[in-house]
Structure 1
Amino acid sequence: MVITKSVTRAFLVAMLLVGFGQASASETLRLALGYPPGSKADEVMQKYAETVKQYTDGSLSVKVYPMSLLSAAEISDGVRDGIADIGVMYTVYFPAMYPHTNLVNESAMQLLLLDPETLNGKEALAFEGAMSEFTLFHCPECLTEYEKQNQVYTANATSISYGLLCTTPVTNKAQLKGKRIRVAGSHWSRWAQHFGASSVSLTINETLEGLSQGVIDCSITSPVELINLGLGEVVTDMTLAIPGGLYAGASAAGFNRNVWQGLTEEQRRAILRAGASTTALSPWASLEQKEEAMALADKEGIKQHDPDPELMAATREFVKADMNTIVDYYAKNHGVKRGKEMLDSFHDILVRWVDLVQDVDSAEELEKLYWDEIFSKVDVASYGMK
């Protein structure tokens, strides 16, 4: 008998379901993560497990399964079906399931239009806060998307700013034309196509192989993936100022709804407290790791480029026009009815958060800010309970 990977995975899943059954408040909760062991994402979620235990006074425990229980592309369905109790889930992989969340996430390139001095290098902290607040209190459609997938949103995750990580220099329009670029959103796909490149959809787990085998020439991602995904082995050139934006469409601790409803109110409040911690640690850890990534780039001889001013200006013009394109795209392809209203509302919240994060100097301060301004205001008696 030939044992295939799919048969093996199905057998493991069956054994997990038999061995664990439906998780309850007294059992260890299984968290699926699409990043590998030892990555910064793994470290962040291991810290999440610690904070869950701390804030629940030991009544709940979490075991993290980095890139083992479920792949990144399997996490949404896996949490829905109870294979995992919690998942770090990237909505971009499921455009038809999470269109409202993805619409707002894809507006992140608007950060290029804000004053860099006003952002003060804290754009990820501001966008993370705005995304969390908007999802919980201003986007009932977003919460409905999670509900339809039998999930409850309890934390967010964001990257730092995205740039081009390539196997060849890409600094101007001529060099960009014809390149095959891995993207993590249709806005970056449109940007690539606007300048004559082609976009390729790969999961995070496929990026290293895609670059090493020449399937893609570049990946639009943050420089920390030189470490987390091992891209430092194959990347030779980086242009980090373009295309800009970041990725914030990640449910950092999406709960299986049945598991969530089996918790006490005190435990649900504690989970949200841990969620505030993880929501803060996600961008903060990436900002800290960026220094390590840039040191690795220097060690490996990875060349760092500034974009041609003409390409930079053209990118900003693209972003201005793309705000309307995003609305039209999601209306036409996914039936999103109030896209412009959503983006206008989100922009106002983002501007507020740019101001709120300016005095934050530590992950602990950011956690307190997110808790006070966002997660503490959730009504745990009703949230996720219908």
Structure 2
Amino acid sequence: MNNKKKIQSVGFIATALLGAAMSAQATETLNYAHAYPSGSIPDKAAHQYAEDVKKFSNGELSVKVYPSTLLTGSEMSDGIRDGLADSGGVLTVYFPSIYPHINMMNESSMQLQLMDQELVADGVGALAFEGAMSEFMFFHCPECNQEYADQNQVYTGNSASSRYALLCTKEVTEQSHMEGLRLRVAGAHWSRWIQAFGGTSLSMTVGELTEALDQGVIDCTASAIPELINLGMIETVTDITTDIPSGAYAGASTASTNQDVWRNLTADQRKALLRAGAHYAASVPFESVMQEQTTLDRAREEGINIHQASPELLAATREFVEKDLQKNINYYAERHGVSRGQEMLDDLRELLEKWLVLVQDVDSGEELGELFWTEVYSKVDVNSHGL
């Protein structure tokens, strides 16, 4: 090889290596944390989110998922704020004084008991509540987005469970069964519900539930039915009541993103996170709804008793919900300075009625994700949101 060819060859190799290095540098990896065990429905959804981020960003972004290891649920908000994780699933119920507007709206989820029960049947109401909360958060609640901004975070997608049921170590189907019942709750509205019927509410993280049930610290947990398997409670729970307390947990951001990280992304990369966020918002509640029947079948095989509440208890619960929605407006105004409570609830109720119709014919998580994208997430201005 003559000197000219050697020089050309060396130059070609150097250019190729430089190109490869630049390509490697072009892919940014975001650390994502959530509080659920590896292999659970939320964890599988998180890994699908990682794949979607890569796909929608054309490989410019990648996501490394840390299930219940990098940050616990109670550490998540501060951890994302301080950059210990680039993004994560924030359960706002753990932080009542930090996210009052978001928590107030989450505490309205039991209004599903007041809707057309044919539309909310088989857990579909939770899908509608997720769509309504996503739209509300992006476009109807600047106060909610400010709460995230105050924690150096940006809201990029909502998170919801399937409908809430009672997972217990005893039968709970009548009002008399509620007297003295010790119930773990994931929101103040469920706490007020059990207290209204003579029981006691306790708050604890998802990682503490199985042991608390096993040791008799609590009699029941108000949780989504698939949590029976997700959190390893199947050997402890003896009874499930499927239609109370109802509602869903929807006061969470699937991928609350550190504000500094968000601002350093390009507009197209932010759009990719939002599109992945739309599918993420769909995957957990849809898969949970699909898993409900599988979980109940498994529960029956394990000898767990499956119940429905008595008509009297259902009627009393609906009466409670109607009164509690109004009481909660006053509570958040007096305790946390929430000034638009009635207006916010009216907006969400209107959105919920719309979404109950939109989700009726959805047949897959992918279809629901695209519905969330076209109806909500695609309309977010990535040149102003979170900036």
TM-score per shorter chain, which class?
over 0.9
Question: 5+ unaligned residues in a row in structure 2: which ranges?
Answer: 1-24
Max radius of gyration: which structure? 2
Partners of 1:277 and 1:367 within 8 A in 2: yes
Of the structure 1 ranges 287-296 and 253-262, higher mean CA displacement relative to structure 2 is found in: 287-296
Aligned-partner Cα distance in 1 for 2:317–2:126: 20
TM (norm. structure 1) is 0.92
1:167 aligns with 2:169: yes
Of the structure 1 ranges 192-201 and 121-130, higher mean CA displacement relative to structure 2 is found in: 121-130
Q: For each residue in 1:141-193, what CA deviation from the matched residue of structure 2 results, as whole angstroms up to 9, or x when unmatched?
A: 00000000000010111111111111111111211100110001111000000
Question: 5+ unaligned residues in a row in structure 1: which ranges?
Answer: 1-23
TM (norm. structure 2) is 0.92
Q: For each residue in 1:115-145, what CA deviation from the matched residue of structure 2 results, as whole angstroms up to 9, or x when unmatched?
A: 1113343211111110000000000000000
Q: For each residue in 1:62-92, what CA deviation from the matched residue of structure 2 results, as whole angstroms up to 9, or x when unmatched?
A: 0110010001110000000000001111111
Alignment partner, residue 128 of structure 1 = 130
Aligned-partner Cα distance in 1 for 2:285–2:177: 31
Alignment partner, residue 357 of structure 2 = 355
Tell me: CA distance 1:49–1:137, structure 2 relative to 1, closer, same or farther (3 Å): same
Query: Could you tell me the percent identity over the aligned residues?
Result: 55
Partners of 1:162 and 1:222 within 8 A in 2: yes
Tell me: CA distance 1:188–1:337, structure 2 relative to 1, closer, same or farther (3 Å): same
Letter in 1 for 2:242: L
Alignment partner, residue 33 of structure 1 = 34
Report how many residues are paired.
Answer: 362
SS for the counterpart of 1:168 is coil
Letter in 2 for 1:274: A
Q: 2:371 aligns with which of 347, 369, 372?
A: 369
Aligned-partner Cα distance in 1 for 2:367–2:54: 21
Alignment partner, residue 236 of structure 1 = 238
1:50 aligns with 2:51: yes
Tell me: CA distance 1:239–1:120, structure 2 relative to 1, closer, same or farther (3 Å): closer
Aligned-partner Cα distance in 2 for 1:243–1:363: 25
Aligned-partner Cα distance in 1 for 2:26–2:174: 55
Partners of 1:25 and 1:263 within 8 A in 2: no
SS for the counterpart of 1:234 is coil
Alignment partner, residue 113 of structure 1 = 114
**What do you get for the CA RMSD once the two structures are aligned?**
1.1
Aligned-partner Cα distance in 2 for 1:185–1:25: 42
1:310 aligns with 2:304: no
Q: 1:198 aligns with which of 187, 197, 200?
A: 200
Residue 363 of structure 1: how far off its partner (Å): 1.5
Aligned-partner Cα distance in 1 for 2:312–2:293: 28
1:61-210 alignment, distance < 5 Å: 61-121=62-122, 122-210=124-212
Alignment partner, residue 10 of structure 1 = none
Letter in 2 for 1:214: G
Residue 57 of structure 1: how far off its partner (Å): 0.8
1:269-308 alignment, distance < 5 Å: 269-308=271-310
Structure 1 segments of 4 or more deviating over 2 A? 24-27, 118-121
Partners of 1:25 and 1:262 within 8 A in 2: no
Of the structure 1 ranges 292-301 and 371-380, higher mean CA displacement relative to structure 2 is found in: 292-301
Of the structure 1 ranges 359-368 and 162-171, higher mean CA displacement relative to structure 2 is found in: 359-368
